[in-house]
């Protein structure tokens, strides 16, 4: 993936230094690179590839990145809201049943306790209420992490390691090529303190990061393939 990222950076005006062929890459013109980028399927991955590695180009159509992030998050938010509404309804029904005939049975009480417990569990699994408002900040922090994250030391950012004669997915980074980033650094990136990050924001941040890394890598693969670089 490293080559694709360098090529993307080469499209930026400030990185002309990449214009000399590197690492056995054939000499490609910026038009070749732009054409290969055009072969990457539209969607989150391509937007991320551009936002991470070609900031000047992506800046021109930020709304497409925004739309792609919203499209990624919306089904999960709706799923959580439905689950929460169901759990609330179940608890309400259990409570109604308890008082229905005057006498409360042990079974009814147990049913109510189960429903109450379930609601607590579901609430704990839901993202914070303010996730939507915080989405621009979260997305920017995730993109910044993908773009600036140090390489994984296990595979030097390649995502793969040699095992004998076989290429294997790197176990340290699980193929992402990205080095570990601390909770403290992520908290700073989204403007929260570390305790608040761990308590409230960590699950949604990691959810976004996992999916955005996957999407960006898939797009990078398409681009590499379009450039005739596929293994
Ligand atoms: Zn690795």
Give 64-123 pLDDT, tens digit per residue. Answer: 999 999 999 999 999 999 999 999 999 999 999 998 888 899 999 999 999 999 999 999
- Dihedral in degrees, nearest 10, Cα atoms 221, 223, 224, 226: 120
Judge whether 158 lies within some domain: no
CA of 90 relative to ligand 1 center, distance in Å? 45
**Per-residue model confidence (pLDDT) at position 231:** 39
Judge whether 49 lies within some domain: no
Quote the domain boundaries for residue 78: 74-125
The helix or strand, by DSSP H or E, that contains position 64, with its residue range, turns out to be helix 62-100
Judge whether 12 lies within some domain: no
The label of the residue with tokens 């080095």 reads 179
Judge whether 112 lies within some domain: yes
CA of 37 relative to ligand 1 center, distance in Å? 25
CA of 157 relative to ligand 1 center, distance in Å? 6
CA of 180 relative to ligand 1 center, distance in Å? 10
Judge whether 11 lies within some domain: no
**Per-residue model confidence (pLDDT) at position 5:** 67
CA distance 11 to 55: 10
CA of 76 relative to ligand 1 center, distance in Å? 28
The residue ranges of the chain whose pLDDT is under 50 are 1, 13-24, 230-231
Q: Is the dihedral of CA 102, 105, 111, 113 positive or negative?
A: positive
CA of 210 relative to ligand 1 center, distance in Å? 15
Judge whether 225 lies within some domain: no
CA distance 45 to 220: 8
Judge whether 113 lies within some domain: yes
Indicate the number of domains in the chain: 1
**Per-residue model confidence (pLDDT) at position 177:** 82
CA of 6 relative to ligand 1 center, distance in Å? 18
Judge whether 45 lies within some domain: no
């Amino acid at each position: 993936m490293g080559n694709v990222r360098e090529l993307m950076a080469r499209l930026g005006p400030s990185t002309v230094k990449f214009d000399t062929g590197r690492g056995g890459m054939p000499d490609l013109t910026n038009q070749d690179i732009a054409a290969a980028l055009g072969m990457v399927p539209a969607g989150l991955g391509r937007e991320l590839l551009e936002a991470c590695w070609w900031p000047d180009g992506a800046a021109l159509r930020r709304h497409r990145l925004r739309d792609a992030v919203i499209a990624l998050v919306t089904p999960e938010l709706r799923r959580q809201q439905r689950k929460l509404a169901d759990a609330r309804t179940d608890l309400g029904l259990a409570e109604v049943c308890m008082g229905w005939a005057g006498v409360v049975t042990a079974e009814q009480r147990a049913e109510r306790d189960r429903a109450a417990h379930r609601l607590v569990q579901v609430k704990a699994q839901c993202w914070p209420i303010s996730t939507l408002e915080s989405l621009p900040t979260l997305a920017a922090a995730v993109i910044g992490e993908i773009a600036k994250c140090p390489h994984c030391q296990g595979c030097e950012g390649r995502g793969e390691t040699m095992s004998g004669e076989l290429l294997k997915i790197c176990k340290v980074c699980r193929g992402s090529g990205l080095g570990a980033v601390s909770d403290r650094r992520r908290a700073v990136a989204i403007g929260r303190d570390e305790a608040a990050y761990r308590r409230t924001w960590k699950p949604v941040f990691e959810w976004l990061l996992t999916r955005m890394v996957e999407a960006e890598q898939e797009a990078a693969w398409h681009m590499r393939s379009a450039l005739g670089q596929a293994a």
